[in-house]
Amino acid sequence: MLLKEYRICMPLTVAEYKIGQLYMISKHSHEQSDRGEGVEVVQNEPFEDPHHGNGQFTEKRVYLNSKLPSWARAVVPKIFYVTEKAWNYYPYTITEYTCSFLPKFSIHIETKYEDNKGSNNSIFDNEAKDLEREVCFIDIACDEIPERYYKESEDPKHFKSEKTGRGQLREGWRDSHQPIMCSYKLVTVKFEVWGLQTRVEQFVHKVVRDILLIGHRQAFAWVDEWYDMTMDEVREFERATQEATNKKIGVFPPAISISSIPLLPSSVRSAPSSAPSTPLSTDAPEFLSVPKDRPRKKSAPETLTLPDPEKKATLNLPGIHSSDKPCRPKSE
């Protein structure tokens, strides 16, 4: 298990971002989807929890085979997706990712939003007070993003909002900008397979960090599109966009129903209160299992001929090189 805490500041208030995060997630999912690849929305409905109160539950399938590194594509099915389940009790959310093909894999994200510049060091005391973790600050203005995702119109150093007057952020903006808020994200990645655990968990955290950086940059860069929206308007945008996204990737489900009226009482359903444990199945996929002893073939020779000791032979074995570099943002 690898646990990290990410802190992402934005020139917004927590109240403003309640609309912004819904708008950003829907639009980002639509942009990143294509035929056979992307985010399919399976369920999106009101949800009530006895502890957190009223919220929204969503279930999605993230198809991402072409986005996997070559070493991962070699061992997963051609049609491969990760299941995302999210409970949104803004300003607190829970998101978890699992994959039936990899029963020992899971990602658990708890998010809290506060109006400060990432200075609350005890925000997750109830969830992970005694757990060792690295704290990673992500700067939406100055941290580098993968070149293929860069757009000048979404660069906070260049973008300036017409409706709010905010933007064109410079290095050190978090120290003096008002308003300012922070997304605190406690991310737990598990891949409990001997020999691959470190490599996979570090890779997943790198992907998570890139997604958080890109998503929060877009949320601010699109502020003029969502700033005047009401909750009803952003829910309608969410519904229409999700249906369009499902069609875009080739899925044609019944119309998605999104409303703000709770459908089920808390006694019927409840969200997870902590990180999910490894799924019930403890057997590793066949490609990760230790090969079983096989009976000797009948065609095998009864005697063994030893090589000539005077002749030299070399044997080249492929090696796996892994890197455990910490997740630290790069600055320009």
pTM: 0.74
Task: Determine how β-strand 53-63 pairs with β-strand 38-49.
Answer: antiparallel
Please say whether the beta carbons of 40 and 246 come within 8 A.
yes
Structural domains present in the chain: 2-246 (3.30.530.20)
pLDDT digits (tens, 9 = 90+) for 232-285: 999 999 999 989 988 888 764 444 445 444 444 444 444 554 434 333 333 444
What is the maximal distance between C-alpha atoms in the chain?
A: 85
Q: For residues 206 and 63, which has the higher predicted lDDT (pLDDT)?
A: 206
Please say whether the beta carbons of 179 and 115 come within 8 A.
yes
pLDDT digits (tens, 9 = 90+) for 51-108: 999 999 999 998 866 656 666 656 666 667 889 999 999 999 999 999 877 888 999 9
Lowest mean pLDDT among 64-78, 172-186, 198-212, 215-229: 64-78
The pLDDT value recorded for residue 300 is 47
pLDDT digits (tens, 9 = 90+) for 116-157: 999 999 999 988 888 899 999 999 999 999 898 899 999 999
Location of structure tokens 């490609």: 287
Burial of 67 (C-beta count, 10 Å sphere; 0-12/13-18/19+): middle
Residue type, 79: I
Please say whether the beta carbons of 274 and 188 come within 8 A.
no
